[in-house]
Chain A
């Protein structure tokens, strides 16, 4: 055991470095600022670039430019910044630019409370792009997740050429915690697939049997076209409805069809349990405390902690939650992800508790909901 004391945001920064991040740009905003501070400390001495944009739009724009030049890029902000990122996020989705975007959620709406936690952006991250195409969202529970899921986020951005969100929360990001370095479980670093040099390059044409186009960095000998406009495989504007339809379908399917390959979760079954608690993010910790108390008191209760929130891991939820008589969901918002659970299970009788007052949901509150 090698224990270190680390804040969630520092773990995200160190996770990014472990994932081979070479470019970071951000605009300071509580509670995400310490990610920027960490990257400024780590990246430039390692030969990378860390920039402070004039605003959030510039910060993510720098990242998109750098990512097209081949950099492994990350940016970090909070709800107000995600709002400003929106048009650039749509660009990254539609034009297949790999990027990791950290949203350290704080209490909204709007500027809300800078130093209060929430999980109020969960549907916003999914639907905050024009066009409504799917995105990947991972949600860390603790400092260890901040480290590990950041590495996964980079790998996914590279694999699928898309923006990948880390839906953190002030309560995870700005909480310091002991982390056992020996227990860290980091996946091998994955890089985007580069196009074979001996063939003509079409920037948006996936190879045979693939849904993700090969990449060539801008600046290479072969010319690269990038555009936010609706484009054909050659990267030029197209008005061909068949071509457009096929591209949108591909952008959707490349993530939806593969979600089982990146479904992260913790499963705590309890023999004989007829009640299942489903939670994510920092709330999963209170849920764990509550469930441990229940099980110790002879009231077996199972817990599913979801870490891949989008695309919704439908098969997993259906398989694990299906057999339970009672299902309890709680989130630090007024009911966002519970809609997905209801949809997947086709049930309207899910017990829900939502709290959006800047405070953590307490184990006691969870026990009350379970016992209600």
Chain B
């Protein structure tokens, strides 16, 4: 294969810049792997390494600082056949740290080349996440306070299955790159090289010193190899293939006559576990069986399983309009928590409103008509209380009818849950709502 270097845009680095070697090695690796330009996308980060995409005749994606891995991930999952290579400096590594860690854990088939030259070259040689504490850089004393990050060790610890460090002056650089690209999964190759434009103006660093530093570090290849597992995209597609396509939303053709006219505003005041939200939904569905439009808003604490649980339902013949509760026509006071949460509502109730009140719940003074239900005497569990209250209303042909409620239950539940709910409704209906 021929070189993929762009003859019209040769590298423009400072003389002696280590990035130049990485460019050449990357071209050799791609050539050796017989990859054509259109089979490869180079996603470059920001900084001097951010120029990489312009040097190659491949697909090119250059975006924001630290985010190269995010684009590469989307690109690869949308086009699995594409070879996606990310180039990033030690700057991108720091600012995009969360993405690096997540890419290691996720294991999408990407190659991340970390071009570590121990400082921010483009902006004037400030310290990066990999600057040695003793180095003299453009950030004054700040780098003395933060130890450098060993990104290869971090990547192996974070779950990357293929990790290596290599000197930019290593004769095997292209080979290492080809191995990283060939690996099916997330491969991180850290190259260490010199930035003569900034870093070595004030610090002594030679290829030999880089070799010596690398040799002194604990190896990471085997640690990373323990992370080997199925590539993310492959595993994703496998999981997805076993999923059932989602059913269309269930719908209702109106079949009953509504039992009340005008806008009805129903407020269910319960506590966690009383299924107020489910009953609110049943009420909406019941309304729909009679051709009514319905809306439902719920209110419960962010920490579920305790406290109030409130559902507000509106039923109307025409369009709903305003979805807030203005003048409740029916209030179901099923638990102290719900009543406390809406205590201000009671004094303003119109005399024509009705309140279904559980016998064990106390109410603030209220002008509406109150009907007390002793759920305890009826042996109704707390979890069934809101459904029982609906059944109670239906038995009285208030708000909804028993046919509407049964149809709603059949729409919402299947199997045992459906049977039990219908049985509960039948049991409450026997009382005739008295």
Contact surface of A with B, Cβ cutoff 8 Å: 1-6, 10, 14, 22-23, 25, 30, 41-42, 44-47, 49, 51, 53-55, 57-58, 60-71, 73, 87-88, 91, 114-115, 142, 171, 174-178, 181, 217-229, 235-237, 282, 285-286, 288-289, 292, 359-360, 362-364
Contacts and interface: CB of A to CB of B under 8 A. Distances in A.
Contacts of B293: 3, 177-178
Given A45-B243, A176-B281, A5 B326 contact: no
Given A58-B99, A88-B64, A285-B322, A218 B75 contact: yes
Contact of B254 (A3, A42, A88, A225): A3
Most chain A C-beta atoms within 10 Å of own C-beta, residue among B72, B250, B295: B295
Contacts of B322: 285-286, 288-289, 360, 362-363
Interface in B288-329: 288, 291-299, 302, 319-324, 326
Contacts of A44: 236, 239-240, 243
Given A178-B284, A288-B321, A223 B70 contact: no
B81 interface: yes
Contacts of B81: 219
A35 to B, nearest CB: 15
A359 B326 CA distance: 12
B245 A45 contact: yes
A49 B236 CA distance: 9
Interface string B245-268: 110011111100000000000000
A1 B253 contact: yes
Contacts of B302: 30, 114-115
Interface in B208-245: 236, 239-240, 243-245
Given A221-B38, A228-B63, A285 B78 contact: no
B410 interface: no
Given A41-B246, A58-B99, A68-B71, A5 B323 contact: no
Contact of B291 (A1, A54, A292): A1
A328 B101 CA distance: 52
15 contacts: A2-B253, A45-B243, A53-B102, A62-B73, A64-B63, A65-B72, A67-B74, A69-B79, A115-B299, A142-B320, A219-B59, A219-B81, A222-B38, A282-B323, A360-B324
B389 interface: no
Interface string B50-88: 000110011111111001011111111111011000000
B107 to A, nearest CB: 13
A70 B75 CA distance: 9
A3 to B, nearest CB: 4
Contact of B64 (A4, A87, A176): A87
A288 B64 CA distance: 44
Contacts of A226: 60-63
B326 A363 contact: yes
A176 B296 contact: yes
A285 B295 CA distance: 13
A4 B294 CA distance: 10
Contacts, number: 226
Contacts of A55: 98
B37 interface: yes
B127 to A, nearest CB: 23
A49 to B, nearest CB: 5
Contacts of B41: 218-219
Contacts of A4: 249-252
Nearest to B319: A288
Nearest to B312: A175
A116 to B, nearest CB: 10
B356 interface: no
A77 to B, nearest CB: 15
Given A68-B75, A289-B321, A223 B294 contact: no
Contacts of A235: 60
B75 A66 contact: yes
Nearest to A42: B246
B42 to A, nearest CB: 10
Contacts of B137: none
Most chain B C-beta atoms within 10 Å of own C-beta, residue among A22, A23, A224: A224
B47 to A, nearest CB: 13
B287 interface: yes
A61 B254 contact: no
Given A5-B294, A23-B74, A285-B320, A224 B67 contact: no
B285 interface: yes
B64 A292 contact: no
B240 A45 contact: yes
Contacts of B284: 5, 176, 178
Nearest to B323: A175
B64 A54 contact: no
Interface string B363-401: 000000000000000000000000000000000000000
A237 B38 CA distance: 21
B323 A285 contact: yes
B251 A181 contact: yes
A355 to B, nearest CB: 12
Nearest to A59: B70
Contacts of B297: 171, 174-176
Given A3-B251, A62-B73, 20 more contacts: A5-B284, A23-B74, A44-B243, A49-B78, A53-B70, A57-B99, A61-B99, A62-B74, A62-B77, A171-B297, A175-B296, A176-B281, A218-B41, A219-B75, A222-B38, A226-B63, A227-B53, A228-B63, A228-B64, A286-B324
Contacts of A237: 54
Contact of A61 (B57, B58, B73, B76): B73
Contacts of A25: 74
B77 A49 contact: yes
Given A69-B79, A91-B63, A286 B321 contact: yes
A365 to B, nearest CB: 11
A68 B284 CA distance: 42
Return the 3 tightest CB-CB contacts between A and B, nearest first: A61-B70, A65-B74, A65-B71
Nearest to B285: A5
